[in-house]
């Protein structure tokens, strides 16, 4: 008898489990309840937290660690990766400038800086890579990437010719950008910004108005940041401010495009290609995916929604495990053969998320193999 082959490919469960931790919890539950199943484990990411881990899980590569400046200046240790025998470098901005690095009470959207991400980019460029992928997701910042670019030699100057202080609020005083000392390899590498959103820089769906509140900005600060970004766009290159993805990571996408010649690409597609996801879906009898909250944005393309569309093209059933499901109109739950919601499971709500996910996967696997749901 041929053993069933299942692909386990979850996204992160934001704030609780990385995609690698979620994948391991699901795999552990299935192995314990149904050891006859052959598992293929492929943690997913979309440019946000877990992107480096996901790419390292599916390709030959080397992890490197470096202490850099965190979002509010305190040092943090961050990882980045070299893939393809050093030809491709991957930097995850969440590792150096991410929201998860700050407790809620410390978040300051006015002052947070991407400088540490620029330090990682500088190390990657110094390694001699030919392509540099910057994951643009999970940021604590709204500085249009100026902190990172400053770490790469750009100077953002005020009316007196003095460098601006860190943070997005200071961009209101931007008068000139001096790129004469930028890193010499920026013009020789292929620079990609891997985005997890399609937001433009400005407006209701932009960097400040849509994402500022989760970074600690109240209504007054959101208005201040919107005005500062709009002013900066007139100095840095307003023509690209409306492009999809330029609002990613507090406008980091805009900074990379307007000043560093980057190309913005969907982060999920970068990861799925690197992992050979289509081939692995074709080989699977069942695909199991998941994330902490499944909502309309997720179902529209990236993560579990994108994976489900790919699996449906090949007639492969897909099961979604989610912490909770937003069931408002427009949510494409029909993408999935089955939806397992942890909040409605038999497990105890006080249990750690990894245990809930492990037990839910075990119950589902045992029921399926016995001919149940």
Are residues 260 and 114 both part of a single domain?
yes
Mean pLDDT value of segment 46-63: 88
Are residues 222 and 81 both part of a single domain?
yes
Given this model, what pLDDT does residue 373 score? 43
Task: Take residue 240 and report the two structure tokens written for it.
Answer: 């690209």
User: Which of 227, 248, 268 represents a domain boundary (last residue)?
Assistant: 268
Are residues 333 and 260 both part of a single domain?
no
Judging by beta carbons within 10 Å of its beta carbon (0-12, 13-18, 19+), is residue 56 exposed, middle or buried? buried
Looking at the 3D structure of the chain, how many domains does it have? 2
State the residue range of the domain holding 58. 51-268
Are residues 235 and 285 both part of a single domain?
no
Number of Cβ within 10 Å of residue 346's Cβ equals: 8
CATH number at residue 329: 3.40.50.10350
Are residues 90 and 213 both part of a single domain?
yes
Grade residue 67 by pLDDT with cuts at 50, 70 and 90: very high
The pTM of this model reads: 0.88
Grade residue 299 by pLDDT with cuts at 50, 70 and 90: low
Instruction: List, for residues 10-35, the tens digit of each pLDDT value.
Output: 998 887 888 889 999 999 999 999 99
Are residues 179 and 304 both part of a single domain?
no
Are residues 207 and 293 both part of a single domain?
no
User: Which of 206, 240, 268 represents a domain boundary (last residue)?
Assistant: 268
Grade residue 363 by pLDDT with cuts at 50, 70 and 90: very high
- For residues 289 and 8, give the distance between their C-alpha atoms in angstroms, rounded to a whole number: 6
Helices (H), 111-164: 115-126, 146-151
Given this model, what pLDDT does residue 36 score? 94
Q: CA torsion sign, 244 to 246 to 250 to 252?
A: positive
Q: Is the pLDDT of residue 265 over 50?
A: yes
Given this model, what pLDDT does residue 237 score? 87
Grade residue 347 by pLDDT with cuts at 50, 70 and 90: low
Q: Is the pLDDT of residue 111 over 80?
A: yes
Mean pLDDT value of segment 166-187: 97
- The answer to whether the beta carbons of residues 358 and 28 sit under 8 Å apart is yes
Given this model, what pLDDT does residue 300 score? 52
- Mean pLDDT score across all residues of the chain: 92
Mean pLDDT value of segment 48-63: 88
Q: Is the pLDDT of residue 301 over 70?
A: no
pLDDT > 70 fraction of the chain, expressed in percent and rounded: 94
Mean pLDDT value of segment 99-122: 97
Are residues 240 and 213 both part of a single domain?
yes
Name which of 55, 72, 86, 223 is nearest 139 in CA terms. Answer: 72
Q: Is the pLDDT of residue 304 over 60?
A: yes
Given this model, what pLDDT does residue 14 score? 81
Query: Beta strand 61-69 with 75-83: parallel, antiparallel or unpaired?
Result: antiparallel
Choose the weakest-confidence range: 127-131, 278-282, 283-287, 348-352. 348-352
Choose the weakest-confidence range: 141-150, 162-171, 319-328, 354-363. 319-328
Instruction: List, for residues 224-261, the tens digit of each pLDDT value.
Output: 999 999 999 999 988 899 999 999 999 999 999 999 99
Grade residue 351 by pLDDT with cuts at 50, 70 and 90: confident
Could you tell me which residue, 202 or 353, shows the higher pLDDT? 202
Mean pLDDT value of segment 147-173: 98
Mean pLDDT value of segment 38-53: 92
User: Which of 268, 291, 323 represents a domain boundary (last residue)?
Assistant: 268
- For residues 137 and 96, give the distance between their C-alpha atoms in angstroms, rounded to a whole number: 11
- For residues 348 and 35, give the distance between their C-alpha atoms in angstroms, rounded to a whole number: 25
Name which of 286, 314, 366, 328 is nearest 39 in CA terms. Answer: 286
Grade residue 344 by pLDDT with cuts at 50, 70 and 90: low
CATH number at residue 199: 3.90.1510.10
Q: Is the pLDDT of residue 92 over 90?
A: yes
């Amino acid at each position: 008898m041929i053993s069933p082959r299942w692909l386990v490919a979850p996204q992160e469960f934001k704030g609780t489990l990385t995609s690698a931790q979620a994948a391991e919890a699901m795999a552990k539950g299935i192995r314990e309840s149904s050891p006859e199943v052959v598992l293929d484990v492929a943690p997913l990411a979309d440019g946000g937290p877990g992107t480096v881990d996901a790419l390292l899980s599916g390709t030959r590569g080397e992890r490197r660690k470096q202490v850099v400046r965190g979002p509010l200046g305190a040092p943090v240790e961050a990882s980045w990766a070299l893939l393809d025998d050093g030809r491709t470098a991957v930097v995850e901005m969440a590792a150096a400038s991410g929201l998860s690095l700050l407790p809620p009470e410390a978040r300051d959207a006015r002052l947070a800086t991407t400088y540490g991400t620029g330090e990682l980019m500088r190390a990657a460029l110094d390694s001699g890579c030919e392509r540099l992928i910057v994951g643009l997701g999970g940021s604590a910042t709204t500085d249009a990437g100026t902190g990172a670019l400053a770490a790469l030699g750009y100077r953002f100057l005020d009316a007196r010719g003095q460098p601006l202080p860190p943070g997005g609020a200071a961009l209101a005083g931007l008068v000139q950008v001096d790129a004469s000392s930028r890193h010499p390899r920026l013009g020789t590498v292929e620079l990609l910004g891997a985005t997890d959103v399609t937001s433009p820089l400005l407006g209701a769906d932009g960097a400040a108005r849509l994402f500022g509140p989760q970074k600690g900005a109240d209504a007054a600060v959101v208005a201040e940041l919107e005005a500062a970004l709009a002013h900066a766009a007139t100095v840095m290159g307003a023509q690209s401010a409306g492009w999809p993805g330029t609002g990613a990571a507090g406008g980091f996408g805009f900074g990379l495009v307007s000043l560093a010649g980057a190309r913005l690409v969907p982060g999920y597609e970068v990861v799925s290609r690197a992992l050979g996801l289509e081939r692995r879906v074709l080989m699977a009898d069942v695909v199991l995916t998941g994330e902490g909250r499944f909502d309309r944005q997720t179902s529209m393309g990236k993560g579990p929604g994108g994976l489900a569309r790919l699996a449906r093209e090949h007639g492969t059933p897909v099961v979604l495990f989610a912490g909770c499901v937003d069931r408002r109109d427009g949510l494409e739950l029909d993408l999935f053969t089955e939806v397992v919601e942890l909040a409605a499971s038999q497990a105890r709500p006080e249990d750690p998320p990894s245990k809930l996910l492990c037990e839910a996967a075990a119950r589902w696997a045992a029921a399926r193999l016995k001919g149940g749901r």
